[in-house]
């Protein structure tokens, strides 16, 4: 996998986490409950953590980079973005419950990425 794709993806997710974090801290602070805001912030944190991992992967590719890239990328999309959807839809009174089971699938993909990272170092 081309390292520039991995780096660009990590940078894009990092940039979006800063934007979403600022959006949550300012615009959503007036709309969301304290618990909703904490959940939103969890999505932002996990997105940023894994964006940084993608950047590191891009600068040090190996045989499992492609699998790790997809695990982390899909994990971010399913985990963090499902949290954003759940929180924002709940704040509007129309909670998209179908996203509830998506979040743990994203979490499992993030964990898979970390396991692959461990395996790649052995």
pLDDT tens, position by position, 71-115: 999 999 999 999 999 999 999 999 999 999 999 999 999 999 999
Question: Is this model's pTM higher than 0.85 or not?
Answer: yes
- Pick from 6-15, 55-64, 66-75: least confident: 55-64
Could you tell me the end-to-end alpha-carbon distance of the chain, in angstroms, rounded to an integer? Answer: 20
Provide the pLDDT for residue 68. 96
Distances (CA, A) of 81 to 3, 34, 50, 78, 96: 24, 19, 13, 6, 12
- pLDDT tens-digit map of 20-44: 999 999 999 889 999 999 999 999 9
Rounded to an integer, the average pLDDT of 35-55 is 97
Provide the pLDDT for residue 34. 94
- For the chain, how many structural domains are there in total? 1
SS3 content of the chain, % helix, strand, coil (to 5): 85, 0, 15
Provide the pLDDT for residue 62. 83
d(CA 50, CA 68): 11
d(CA 37, CA 9): 26
Question: Which residues form the domain of 28?
Answer: 3-121
Rounded to an integer, the average pLDDT of 47-65 is 93
Provide the pLDDT for residue 2. 84
């Amino acid at each position: 996998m081309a390292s520039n794709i991995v780096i660009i993806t990590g940078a894009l997710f990092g940039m979006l986490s800063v934007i979403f974090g600022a959006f949550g801290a300012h615009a959503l602070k007036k709309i969301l409950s304290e618990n909703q805001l904490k959940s939103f912030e969890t999505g932002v944190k996990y997105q940023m953590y894994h964006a940084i991992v993608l950047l590191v992967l891009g600068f040090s590719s190996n045989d499992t980079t492609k699998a790790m890239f997809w695990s982390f990328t899909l994990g971010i999309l399913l985990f963090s973005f499902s949290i954003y959807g759940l929180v924002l839809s709940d704040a509007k009174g129309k909670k998209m419950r179908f996203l509830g089971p998506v979040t743990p699938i994203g979490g499992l993909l993030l964990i898979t990425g970390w396991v692959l990272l461990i395996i790649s170092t052995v």
